Chain A
Amino acid sequence: MMELVCPAGTPAAMRAAVEAGAHAVYCGFADETNARNFPGLNFSTEEMASGIAGAHARGAKVLVALNTFPRAGGEELWHRRLADAEAAGADAVILADMGLLAHAAEHHPRMRRHLSVQAAAANPDAINFYAEAFGVQRVVLPRVLTVDEIAAINREIDVETEVFVFGGLCVMAEGRCSLSSYATGKSPNMNGVCSPASHVAYAEEGQDLAARLGGFTIHRTPKNQPAPYPTLCKGCFSSGDQTGHVFEDPVSLDAKHLIPALAKAGVTALKIEGRQRSRAYVGEVVRTFRAAVEAVAAGRPMPEGALARLSEGQAATAGAYAKTWR
């Protein structure tokens, strides 16, 4: 059966994911060492140890994300978190930075190393490089590849691949985007945040609600309509005579129906995005996907189930996997 890797932003979400049938959960420490460094999210050292023990007791693995790029002069914190993860019994760490990968390979050789999507390894050369240089055993693929491209990659590499099947979508190559930093000074790579709430301001202006990030207007919506969160690359802008979603429509990924194709393409694990989501959301999505991977493994037809209302902006896409913008 394909491994279902599920988000755990909090100890409660971790329990919900494991109870709903997650084969593995991923999580991070409550600081800038992981790419979901949001207020109220993530685990203290003690919570990590007890969370891992609880997940292990129910047969689920725990993957610890240390997937930001350590600050010059501040690497010690990331190194300490690697040691903390190993001491807590993590089944693997998810890393993006070459220096941190080298450190983990040297000082924690027995801990499995997964390559984070933040490293954006999008071709076999990149994956083989990380595998040979740092002993990476699994690669989380960027969300820019078609199913055929994933199959072709798997033919040229010896490590496992993990792909996103549900949740938010980055339209830029992950880990290679400083748009948020340009607008707010806070970046995914350096601070583990994108379009941070601390820099969001809403203003009622005439019939509109304007949503701004770092002072830049990202959306204007009529006051009586739901206003999306101002994630920078999902914003509405103008260029020349065009006005609209210049970078990406406010949709989220739902590749449930592609699970059989992804299995055939040699994918080992399926990842659900959403460490910032509630445990109710996590539970419902995980249950639906667990039923789907069970069905695929047993050769049964995919169970129908409506996750649309859980999707961002209530609109879902198969994303790059069935690329229409190529």
Chain B
Amino acid sequence: MDLTVGPNQFFWTAAQVRDFYESVAKAPVARVVLGELICSKRMSFWTDQIPGAVEVLQRAGKDVAISTLALITLKRERKQTADLLDMGLPIEVNDISALQQIPAGTPFWVGPLVNVYNEGTLRWLAKRGATRICLPPEMPLASIATMVKAGAEVGVAVEVWGHGRLPLAISGRCYHARLHDRAKDNCQFVCGEDADGREVDTLDGQPFLAVNGVQTLSASTACMAWHTEALAAAGVASLRLSPQTGHFADLCQGYADRIAGQISAGDLVAQLLPEAPGGRFSDGFLMGPSGADWSHPIEAA
């Protein structure tokens, strides 16, 4: 089992992006997916950093893929999706409509925002050219094991969400703009003020969710530190680490050490918690009963 860095979900400055991928290039991860996932309006601010980042990452021996948007609606966005093909990198499909642009026979990856819940869907995508699939984060461990087996039969590597705020929903509506009483078309890019998302609490002050433009995330940070053995035993090919602002290269190193058996789950949790957005961990999608739950509440305290 190795490590994959997923596309950054948040709106960072070009300088932040550059520094981030320079540090990821030195981190013990096998592959990196980059590109704008959430909002096409952000693209002009940072995507000119992508060619440089790809070069740095490839020079460091990483496999690199480019992600589509998670929700493609506008004509301009369909064109931008088609243009991704010109980069000569594998595409990670995060909106199924991108498949309409990928020629038959061209291999592609499938991201966690595409609904791949069963063997039938996995097999169909494999026949269409999928070689890697990151499963939806809400899938429980038993289902993951079944999917890994189905993937092995058709040459698809199965990846799961390893660490980061969980992508729970995507909408046509921008919640950052709404919270600032602005229309989406006049958002003034306020999502850039919250580099790990903006927290949403219940009226009783319980941390609950986080908004990131048109995306809704968990307030907690999903953390698979306690489950690396079980996931490796199930045959999972890779753990996906989702970019966050705090000490990300150390986080990659921590998970690499954990997989190599050089650090205990408890020690990894203690190391990662201070930098976790929201300051709390969850792993309930994997183990139940609900996504927000954390299997080791004592360590989290």
A residues at B contact (CB < 8 Å) = 69-75, 96-100, 102-103, 119, 121-126, 128-129, 133, 142, 144-145, 149, 171-173, 175-179, 181-185, 187, 189-190, 210, 214-220, 233, 235-240, 242-243, 246-248, 320, 324-326
Contact = CB atoms under 8 A, between A and B. Distances in A.
Given A183-B290, A189-B138, A326-B185, A123 B118 contact: no
Interface in B183-241: 183-185, 198-206, 208-209, 211, 216, 218
20 contacts: A70-B118, A71-B117, A71-B143, A98-B125, A100-B121, A145-B73, A171-B173, A175-B115, A176-B71, A176-B169, A176-B170, A182-B166, A182-B218, A182-B292, A183-B291, A214-B292, A237-B208, A238-B200, A247-B173, A247-B175
B168 interface: yes
Given A70-B117, A179-B168, A179-B209, 19 more contacts: A71-B117, A99-B120, A99-B121, A125-B98, A126-B95, A129-B99, A144-B171, A145-B73, A145-B172, A173-B169, A173-B171, A175-B115, A176-B71, A178-B138, A182-B138, A183-B291, A210-B203, A236-B203, A325-B184
B115 A97 contact: yes
A219 B73 CA distance: 32
Contact of B203 (A128, A129, A144, A237): A237
B97 interface: yes
A125 B171 contact: no
B266 interface: no
B199 to A, nearest CB: 6
Interface string B47-79: 000000000000000000000000111000110
Interface SS of chain A: mixed
A126 B96 contact: yes
A123 B185 CA distance: 19
A214 B290 contact: yes
B142 interface: yes
A279 to B, nearest CB: 32
Contact of B121 (A97, A126, A145): A97
A129 B168 contact: no
A131 B96 CA distance: 13
A181 B284 CA distance: 10
Contact of B78 (A69, A125, A182, A215): A125
A218 B147 contact: no
Interface string B276-301: 00000000110011111000000000
A123 B95 CA distance: 10
B123 interface: yes
A100 B138 contact: no
A184 B168 CA distance: 13
Nearest to A149: B73
A125 B69 CA distance: 14
B290 A184 contact: yes
Contact of A102 (B124, B139, B143, B290): B124
Nearest to A214: B290
B22 interface: no
Contact of A122 (B71, B99, B146): B71
Given A181-B291, A185-B289, A220 B203 contact: yes
B119 interface: yes
B179 to A, nearest CB: 5
